[in-house]
Structure 1
Amino acid sequence: MQPIMGDLPSQRVTPSFPFKTVGLDFAGPFFIVNRKGRGAIIIKCYLCLFICLRYKCVHLEAVSDLSKDAFLMTFRRFVSRRGRPTEVFCDNGRNFVAGSKEINHFFKINSKSLSDSASEDGIKFVFSPTYAPHFGGIFEAGIKSAKFHIKRVMGNSHLTFEEISTLFAQVEAILNSRPLCPMSPSPDDLLCLTPGSFLIGRALTALPSPVLENCNYNNLQRYARLQQIYQHFWQRWQREYIAELQQRHKWKTNSSKPNVGDLVLLQEDDVPPLCWRLGRISRLFYGPNDGVPRVADVNTSRGCVRRPLVRLCALPTAEELEG
């Protein structure tokens, strides 16, 4: 049976604070070592993803195992940094179910000692039905994208728990730096809205580091190897994200017509992590026979550049997102 797709839940479309309503999922295992040097033992660790259902902000945590206690410690770290959510959507894994019972039992027995706002409702856990991963599509998609590329860029590398925690934090920054829509319709405004805008009120930035993508992995020190993995993830993931934004069948269908003043994302090679090159279309050049725009002049923060439209990706406007 195929029931009709439902409307978005109210938690997805009503404004509120970031991470007030979150989706939660685990991914893995990832194979790491218990320490550096010879005699190290290969062990497992997991990735825990929290995603804000309103603004698509992401929070990643490295987890040692899938036990209830490990989940509770992970959840406490998340709440300490992002604030207490009112609702948590997840699958019905035993660690989630047991952890939710313990959390809400604490709220119940300590209701008198907690403030009124903290003890009002506790935290509501909403579990997806068994064999229904599509009920958590937004966080299942986030886990799939992050896990797919992390697995491939890590290859046979065995990081320590501290190193993989650092990698997950850097991947989190990449995911939260992605452009969502223009900040304003002004043709002079080159700023875009990102998930990071809701978290820190400005664009996320990364510490500068040398380009290591083409260096021999075996000749690098451990820290440089970690940065090489991070840079490989950035190159793979930003290409995939730009391809998703385009959402068209190449060469076969005519996508939405570009206009002068549109904010676009330029597809550039060798862009450092967390740097998205944005610009406004200032002029369009049309094909001589069909009148279809093929090339555009784009005003960027570094000046005007000329690019074919296939190397430009228009960001959705606020009206398109609402529609």
Structure 2
Amino acid sequence: MGNLPAQRINADFPFTSTAVDFAGPYLITDRRGRGCKITKCYLCLFICLRYKCVHLEAVSDLSKDAFVLALRRFIARRGKPAELFCDNGRNFVAAAKEINDFFKLYENDISDFAAGQGIKFKFAPAYAPNFNGYAEAGIKSAKFHLKRVLGNTHLTFEELSSLFSQVEAILNSRPLCPLSSSPNDFYPLTSGHFLIFRPLTSLPAPPLQDRNPNRLDRFLRLEQLRQHFWKRWSTEFVSLLQQRYKWRERQRDLQLGELVLIKEEGLPPLLWRMGRVVKLYNGKDGVPRVADINTARGIVKRALNRICPLPVQQRES
């Protein structure tokens, strides 16, 4: 395995080094009601190589002008990147042939536009998705559940853009590491902190996951899609933190005062239940099995299979 590139380890402003990738197509309608025309649109993802901040844009079609406009919107809100990394289109599967053809056709035009803006545009080698791994992982996080959440639902372009923005906030809310070492601080550092310098929040809404979508208006239907995406993605993220291999070797034990994520179902979007370990209970073999967790609502006792150490703490240890 090679060393991490400098863009991953040297501190700088968010999105100074950015990777871009496409996903889709998604079917949208030109208006509401009967007799509407169904067309395609695509998801354009920008991801910061340093802080994993995600920016999602809805693109109306696969043309150079549409991509340049999406890039201009990204620059207007996030600042101009110094480097932009991208696949060269030759490692896309046959299902994404349109995206493949788009990159082949406009590779030189996109590079010329980026050069005119002072952006260094870099294409990855052919058949090497690991060279653009952050973007591939970000596309997987967004596309995998969006496809299942949307199903046969046809939204308008405005509604799909709103859904992408809310999905972006969910992806940027994932906890990375403790914000401080204070035993009374239960807030984690997230990707959103690098963008707005405080935690990302969402507007309160009633739980709609079990409601019949045919009885909801379009606004509540969009909120239901957001809640479904949160439930699926947050469950998958917690499962990644709880990966267990064959238990033949003892792994690192939790430490007193360590900030952990408590696995709970039914939480509203962008809410992560955090706490700090205050006491460990060992089994007969001397291995901790249960822990007392100090949370903002008091001390709770949980088994270790409901507790997730944050990923950065695991790597540092």
TM-score, L = length of structure 2: 0.92
Q: Distance in 2 between matches of 1:148 and 1:33?
A: 22
Q: Distance in 2 between matches of 1:303 and 1:322?
A: 28
Q: State the Cα distance separating 1:256 from its structure 2 match.
A: 1.9
Residue in 2 aligned with 1:137?
133
2:14 is aligned with 1:18: yes
Residue in 2 aligned with 1:111?
none
Q: Distance in 1 between matches of 2:229 and 2:255?
A: 33
* Contact 1:55/1:195 (<8 A) preserved: yes
Q: Distance in 2 between matches of 1:97 and 1:308?
A: 56
Residue in 2 aligned with 1:61?
57
Q: State the Cα distance separating 1:290 from its structure 2 match.
A: 1.1
Q: Distance in 1 between matches of 2:210 and 2:250?
A: 37
Which of 40, 46, 49 is the aligned partner of 2:45? 49
Q: Distance in 2 between matches of 1:123 and 1:317?
A: 31
Q: Distance in 1 between matches of 2:246 and 2:222?
A: 35
Question: Deviation digits for residues 186-208 of structure 1, max 9, x if unmatched?
Answer: 22221211000100101000001
SS at match of 1:131: coil
Question: Deviation digits for residues 247-298 of structure 1, max 9, x if unmatched?
Answer: 32276654321121111101111000000010001111121x2121111111
Q: Which amino acid aligns with 2:66?
A: A
SS at match of 2:261: strand
2:211 is aligned with 1:215: yes
Q: Quick one: percent identity of the two aligned structures?
A: 60
Alignment of 1:64-213 (within 5 A): 64-92=60-88, 93-94=103-104, 95-104=106-115, 106-107=116-117, 122-213=118-209
SS at match of 1:40: coil
* Contact 2:44/2:58 (<8 A) preserved: yes
2:289 is aligned with 1:298: no
Residue in 2 aligned with 1:280?
276
The size of the alignment, in residue pairs, is 302
* Contact 2:177/2:190 (<8 A) preserved: yes
Q: Distance in 1 between matches of 2:33 and 2:21?
A: 32
SS at match of 1:180: strand
Q: Which amino acid aligns with 2:113?
A: E
Structure 1 unmatched ranges of 5 or more: 108-121
Which deviates further from its counterpart, 197-206 or 87-96?
87-96
Q: State the Cα distance separating 1:84 from its structure 2 match.
A: 0.3
* Contact 2:28/2:157 (<8 A) preserved: yes
| CA distance 1:18–1:37, shift in 2 (3 Å) | same
2:26 is aligned with 1:30: yes
SS at match of 1:25: strand
Q: Distance in 2 between matches of 1:62 and 1:164?
A: 7
Q: Which amino acid aligns with 1:98?
A: D
| CA distance 1:33–1:252, shift in 2 (3 Å) | farther
Residue in 2 aligned with 1:229?
225
Q: Which amino acid aligns with 1:175?
A: L
Q: Distance in 1 between matches of 2:164 and 2:155?
A: 12
| CA distance 1:250–1:180, shift in 2 (3 Å) | farther
Q: Which amino acid aligns with 1:310?
A: N
Q: Distance in 2 between matches of 1:215 and 1:253?
A: 46
| CA distance 1:291–1:312, shift in 2 (3 Å) | same
TM-score, L = length of structure 1: 0.90
Q: Which amino acid aligns with 2:279?
A: R
* Contact 1:182/1:316 (<8 A) preserved: no
Q: Distance in 2 between matches of 1:317 and 1:102?
A: 37
| CA distance 1:203–1:313, shift in 2 (3 Å) | same
* Contact 1:68/1:96 (<8 A) preserved: no
Question: Deviation digits for residues 29-49 of structure 1, max 9, x if unmatched?
Answer: 011111100101111110000
Residue in 1 aligned with 2:304?
309
Residue in 1 aligned with 2:100?
none
| CA distance 1:102–1:215, shift in 2 (3 Å) | same
Which of 270, 281, 293 is the aligned partner of 2:266? 270
Q: Distance in 2 between matches of 1:73 and 1:16?
A: 25
Residue in 1 aligned with 2:255?
259
| CA distance 1:254–1:42, shift in 2 (3 Å) | farther
